[in-house]
Structures are given as C-alpha cells and as structure tokens.
Amino acid sequence: MRAQKKVDSEKLASRFRSLFGKEPVLYRAPGRVNNIGEHTDYNDGFVMPMNTAVYTWVAASPRNEPSVRVHSVLFDETFEFSLDAIEPGGASAWVEYAKGVAFILQDQGFELTGADLLIDGEIPLGGGLSSSASLEAVIATALLGCSGLEVDPMKVALMCQRAEHEFAGVPCGIMDQAVICACPEDHAIRLDCRSLEIKPIPLPKELCLLVVDSGVKHQLSDGGYRQRRSECDFAIDLLRKREPGVASYRDVTGPMLAKYETELGELPFRRARHAVSETLRVREAESAIAGGNLEALGKILNASHASLRDDFMVSCDELDFLQQTAVQTSGVYGSRMVGGGFGGCTISLVDPAKLEEVRGLIVAAYAEYSGQEPWSHRVKSAAPAGLA
Ligand code: ADP
Ligand code: MG
C-alpha cells in the first residue's frame, strides 16, 4: 500500500484553474476506521465506525454542457462522459466511480447539471481506510453541489453504495458510505445494519487509535469471506426454525446458541458465536466509551480479536503478530485486526501521551518480523463529506 501525500488545497485550485479556466469550489470526504463490530454488517448487527482526517478531494465547477469532465491527479488521466448515456464499463477503474455516482444520482431522480471535476486524494488505495467510499462520497457531494441540490446524507450514502455495487462490482455493505457521509466530527456512530438507524456516539478526547498495516493480503480472502457468510446464514436459518422470536443474531443469546452446538456442527457454531458475541461487544463498547473507560474498551478490542482469530478464523500470522506486539507494549489498552481479515490492518487503542513511543516500537518489531516497515496512521476524527 502506498501512503499518499497531503493535498495542498491552494495547488489543487490552481491546477483546476489551469485545466478548466475557471474558479472551483472545493469538496472533501474523509477516510474511515471501524472501532468495533466486525463481520456483523451482513448479519443484521451493529457496527461502530468513525471518520479519520485523511481525505479525498474534488475541485469542481458546473458547466453548460450536460456532461462531466473529470481528471485524476493520482492516475494522471482525463475522461469525459455524457450525463445522458452512462453505462458501466469501458473506462479506467477510477472513472467508474464517477460514472456510477452520476448514473445513480440521476436514476434516483436528481437532475444534475454538467460539471468539471479534478480529483486528488490522501487515502492509501486498498489500505483499509475505504478510499473507494470516500471517492464516491466526495463525487456525489460535488455533483450535487454543482447542481444546487441538498440531499439527506444517508440517502447519499445509499446511492454511493449502489454505485459501488453496480459500477465497481464490489458487493459492499453500507457501513463505509454511511460513516463517511453522515458521522459528525468528534463522534463515532453506532449503525444498525438492519434498520440503518444511526446513533452518534460522542468520543472522549483521550481516545487515540493507531492503525498499522500488515501489508499482506492472503489468497484466502475472497473465498474465505463467501464461506463465512454462508456458514453464518446456515446457522441463523437453523436458529430461526428452532427458536420462535429469533429473526437475526441480535436476538440470540450465548446460552440459547449453546443448545445447538452439536446440531450446528463445529464451524457454523463458532461463526455464530462470533456474530453473537461481537454484537454484544458493540453494545459494551458503547458503554465503555460513554463512561470514558479506555481500559474496558481495550479489553473489548482484545476480545474481538480473539473471537475473529479463534471463532471466525479470519486472522493470520501477521495480524496476530501485530496485535500481540501491541498488547505487550506499555501504553496500549488493547488491539484488534480490522476489516475482512486474512491480511490488512490492526487498530490499537493507545495512551495519547505515549503514541509516538508505541508507534516506534510496533513499527520496529514488525519491520524485523516481516522485513518491511509497516505503514501506520493515527486516527483523527473528521467532519463527514462536504465543502472543504
Ligand atoms: P479501499 O479499501 O481503499 O476502498 P478499493 O479497492 O475498494 O480500496 O478502492 C480503491 C480504488 O478506488 C482505486 O483503485 C481507485 O480506482 C479508486 N480511488 C480511490 N481513491 C482515489 C483517488 N483519490 N483518485 C482516483 N481513484 C481513486
Ligand atoms: Mg473500498
């Protein structure tokens, strides 16, 4: 994964002026991390993500023709498409996000004017902070802004998710787009993935998270993800049949699940136990955050990691090494793998006074273990997608 440079807003505006010969308005959308609630989104559970202050930027201005001209600084490419005839495919992958968002916004009845867009970004691509959802959100915000339209942020999130499904071909959940479009600054959100209800969770000032990237992505990841989903579905289908009142994992308790251990078989039982316990941990994390109890929150992160490693079995040696190194380091309250698994990043809850010391120790230990220095990022709360 490549770390990206900070975008200089003055330079972006001046580049826009020289490309398109007019004055832009600047928009930006943050990246995101998920504090807790892993593999709960597709199980109708809860997740608790927040935004972080690395951004995808768009300089934008309306144009008279019904088409969009878009240039990416990162890919050094320009593309133009007519708003009247958008179809998936046929362009560089990054352009598909712009086309997809424009298509879905219009499909949902929003009348877009043409626009000139210049995109730049600070979020590492494929690095666990969801650069794709950030890109969708900032393009949607810019296109709506150019058209003089104001739309409810959750509605924008849903349209961005559809663009990712239909144009990027990624069957993602709603978490990334929801948090990037709708989470207020200095808050996480508790998102109910069943009802899409959002509860803002104010964050204590001392909450300090460090993301460290293992730099690996194991082959297993796609097949493993599909297999986990079908095991979870199998287990909940059986529980629904046996237990009146169970609609989804949030209705299942530990003792109730234990009754079906033999009937479910070992692996579906373990997957279900993760879904049940992780849903509970989101609730526990909410109380720990409300009480400013970072020790308790750290333990919840550790328990989440153990469950993802032992019950859901989506960790790997590199992630376990990073997590173990973190929890053995003074100044760390707790740590866990984040994301789909089989590689990717960990987050660690750190005493802010010891952040640089902790970062140095983890980075050095991992460099010795793996032969490469890992990318790391201090999470800093950020406003949702909007005007820069
Ligand atoms: P992530 O985990 O970061 O979301 P994805 O593979 O889902 O990784 O999305 C990364 C893709 O999103 C990139 O390959 C590119 O097509 C697009 N993208 C993200 N940020 C930018 C950007 N700043 N400029 C152009 N394209 C971008
Ligand atoms: Mg993505």
Pull the structure tokens for residue 161. Answer: 């998710």
Q: What is the DSSP letter of 5?
A: P
> Does residue 72 line the site of ligand 1, with CB under 6 A?
yes
Contacts for 227 with CB less than 8 Å, ≥ 6 apart: none
The CA distance from 70 to 246, in Å, is 49
* Cα four-point dihedral sign 217, 222, 223, 229: positive
Contacts for 233 with CB less than 8 Å, ≥ 6 apart: none
- The catalytic residue among 176, 186, 192, 237 is 176
Per-residue pLDDT tens digits of the chain, which is 388 residues long? 455 789 999 999 999 999 999 999 999 999 999 999 999 998 999 999 999 999 999 999 999 999 999 999 999 999 999 999 999 999 899 999 999 999 999 999 999 999 999 999 999 888 889 999 999 999 999 999 999 999 999 999 999 999 999 999 988 889 999 999 999 999 999 999 999 999 999 999 999 999 999 999 888 777 888 899 999 999 999 999 999 999 999 999 999 999 999 999 999 999 999 999 999 999 999 999 999 999 999 999 999 999 999 999 999 999 999 999 999 999 999 999 999 899 999 999 999 999 999 999 999 999 999 999 999 999 999 999 999 9
> Does residue 94 line the site of ligand 1, with CB under 6 A?
yes
Alpha helices in the chain (DSSP H): 9-20, 93-107, 131-146, 153-163, 175-182, 221-242, 254-258, 261-264, 266-290, 294-310, 317-327, 355-370
The CA distance from 67 to 63, in Å, is 8
Residue to probe by mutation, ligand 1, list 125, 139, 161, 180, most atoms within 8 Å of CB: 125
> Does residue 61 line the site of ligand 1, with CB under 6 A?
no
Taking alpha carbons only, the member of 274, 363, 369 closest to residue 317 is 369
192 is catalytic: no
> Does residue 100 line the site of ligand 1, with CB under 6 A?
no
Residue to probe by mutation, ligand 1, list 118, 131, 338, most atoms within 8 Å of CB: 131
Cα distances from 72 to residues 95, 100, 177, 286, 385, in angstroms, run: 9, 16, 21, 39, 18
